[in-house]
Amino acid sequence: MDHPPLKVAYNATPLLSPVTGIGNYIIELGAALSASGAVDPYSFYRYRWRHEPPSPPVQAPPGGREFINRIKPFIPIRGPIRRTAHYLGFASGLRRHRIDLYHEPNYVPLSYDVPVVITIHDLSWIGFPQAHPADRVRWLEQSLPTAIERAQAILVDSDFIRNEVLTTFGVDTERVRTAHLGVAPRFRPHAPEETSAKLERFGLAPGRYILTVGTLEPRKNLRHMLESYALLPAALRERFPLAIAGARGWRSSGLVTQIRRVNDRHVRFLGHVDREALPHLYAGAALFAFPSLYEGFGLPPLEAMASGTPVLVSNRASLPEVVGDAGATMDAYDPVQAASILRELLEDPGRRASMTQRGLSRAARFTWQGCAAITRSVYRDVLAEAHASSEPALENASA
């Protein structure tokens, strides 16, 4: 006998801001779960509910945003009251929609009285607190231990993060499950004629540049990339300019200043690149370099591999787990070594072609459908356990 889809609530509030890694996780996983037919999704956007998979962004009605901005100074509601309204609106919606399970995709759940699953994407706020706003670090320090203790199950993006969660918080191993992220179908190889027009706006040509993608923040280690690139021979830099794509992040002003002061016309700072252009930017690169000091997963290298571009990543955190033997690795603190590897790869098109084929095979193993399948399995286990634990209480009540 077929069971009706599970009514699952998602906190989609992060989608009200510019979409980042967690936002993409919410969108892609929600779509895959909904498409499976096993989940009936309900999405919560700060103060409103929608019976739909999480989707970006929920816009104010025409003229509504301007109206809200005009009246905001006259509204006597302060932060704590707004947070309380936020929590109460969420809790009442769980009851009103008869939600079976609540999945919080952004670490710390809101108020709830149903079984809950949380996703912990990384613990960078512990190892790299300087890479986060101080209030976010305080929020996680104060709230995450309790969230971990109360959650029925914890999802993580990689085995690396699973081990960190287990050792840092002493969690029962059975409560923490790895669900590797997937790569969206739009990231695929493109012929040069497909990408040329998109790349022209950036002053780039297919197969003639090095690419790095990531939010401009200390953890992404872009200073290392600039130093490594500067050590390349002038002829290689002439042939392969360095393109840096990414929006400004926390404490990025110093890095942006450094980029602007680099006296090398071959370094191109592209800023934020929209979802339509990004696949072309990946597919057109001769090489993708990612020197990050810490990643809970590392979607950019996976997206580059799926686009048919060879990758060079740092040998830290989850990146070797994601890339496997399909890419090359570098020391995240040794620009001389990184420059040597960059030069070897740029001067050896045959090796890059071999890496491209291995990268395509590797990337094909990471799908959002696979991530959704593991997530559904966790949902079922949590609800089965909740049902089993409620039966003795029901028996005692009837007795």
Single-letter residue type at 82: R
Query: So what's the pLDDT on residue 265?
Result: 84
Mean per-residue pLDDT, 234-242:
96
Q: What is the SS3 string spanning the chain?
A: CCCCCEEEEEECHHHHCCCCHHHHHHHHHHHHHHHHCCEEEEEEECCEEECCCCCCCCCCCCCHHHHHHHHHHHCCCCHHHHHHHHHHHHHHHHHHCCCCEEEECCCCCCCCCCCEEEEECCCHHHHCHHHCCHHHHHHHHHHHHHHHHHCCEEEECCHHHHHHHHHHHCCCHHHEEECCCCCCCCCCCCCHHHHHHHHHCCCCCCCCCEEEECCECHHHCHHHHHHHHHCCCHHHHHHCCEEEECCECCCCHHHHHHHHHCCCCCEEEEECCCCCCHHHHHHHCCEEEECCCCCCCCHHHHHHHHCCCCEEEECCCCHHHHHHHHCEEECCCCHHHHHHHHHHHHCCHHHHHHHHHHHHHHHCCCCHHHHHHHHHHHHHHHHHHHHHHHHHHHHHHHC
d(CA 97, CA 81): 24
Mean pLDDT, residues 2-28: 89
Task: Please give the pLDDT value at position 75.
Answer: 46
- Confidence band, pLDDT 50/70/90 cuts, at residue 215: confident
Range scoring the smallest mean pLDDT among 57-61, 118-122, 202-206: 57-61
Q: How far apart are CA 52 and CA 34, in angstroms?
A: 8
Is residue 18's pLDDT more than 60? yes
Residue 248, pLDDT score: 73
Share of the chain above pLDDT 70, in %: 85
Average pLDDT, the chain: 88
pLDDT in tens, 106-159: 999 998 889 999 999 999 999 989 878 889 899 999 999 999 999 999 999 999
Domains and CATH numbers, the chain: 6-182+367-398 (3.40.50.2000), 192-363 (3.40.50.2000)
